[in-house]
């Protein structure tokens, strides 16, 4: 992932509906040969990473499950937590359902 802007938070969402926002300043700059940094621990409960992007307070996030359930939530309602934390439940999914996709929506208000 290449950050095009340096303002906002890194938003990470897992396939089982867990997510988190972390300030970009918590991630050190990597040079060539860098091994990267961990942002979320992958577990069976949380699932694999479904996506990541730059999120600001004025944005909304739309999340759709593979069963067709769609929600739109304000970015402010997603907890801003540290880089080494596991994340919080962002969307409650039916048993067996997974996050299919998400989109960051820039509010016009």
Does residue 1 lie in a domain region?
no
Largest CA distance in the chain: 43
Which own/partner contact pairs does 5-9 have at CB distance under 8 Å and 24+ positions apart? 5/54, 7/54, 7/56, 8/54, 8/55, 8/56, 9/54, 9/55, 9/56, 9/80
Does residue 3 lie in a domain region?
no
Give the count of domains, the chain: 1
Digit-coded pLDDT (tens) for 10-58: 999 999 999 999 998 888 777 787 777 788 888 899 999 999 999 999 9
Digit-coded pLDDT (tens) for 49-94: 999 999 999 999 999 999 999 999 999 999 888 887 788 999 999 9
Does residue 51 lie in a domain region?
yes
Residue 6 tokens, joined: 């340096």
Does residue 47 lie in a domain region?
yes
Does residue 4 lie in a domain region?
no
| Cα–Cα distance, 42 to 86 (Å, whole number) | 8
């Amino acid at each position: 992932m290449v950050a095009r802007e340096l303002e906002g938070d890194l938003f990470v969402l897992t396939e089982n509906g867990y997510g988190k926002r972390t300030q970009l300043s918590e991630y050190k700059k990597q040079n060539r040969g860098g091994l990267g940094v961990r942002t979320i621990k992958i577990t069976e409960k949380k699932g694999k990473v479904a996506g990541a992007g730059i999120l600001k307070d004025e944005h909304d996030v739309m999340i759709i499950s593979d069963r067709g359930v769609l929600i739109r939530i304000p970015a402010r309602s997603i907890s801003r937590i540290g880089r080494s934390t596991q994340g919080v439940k962002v969307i409650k999914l039916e048993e067996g359902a997974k996050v299919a996709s998400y989109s960051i929506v820039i509010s016009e208000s």
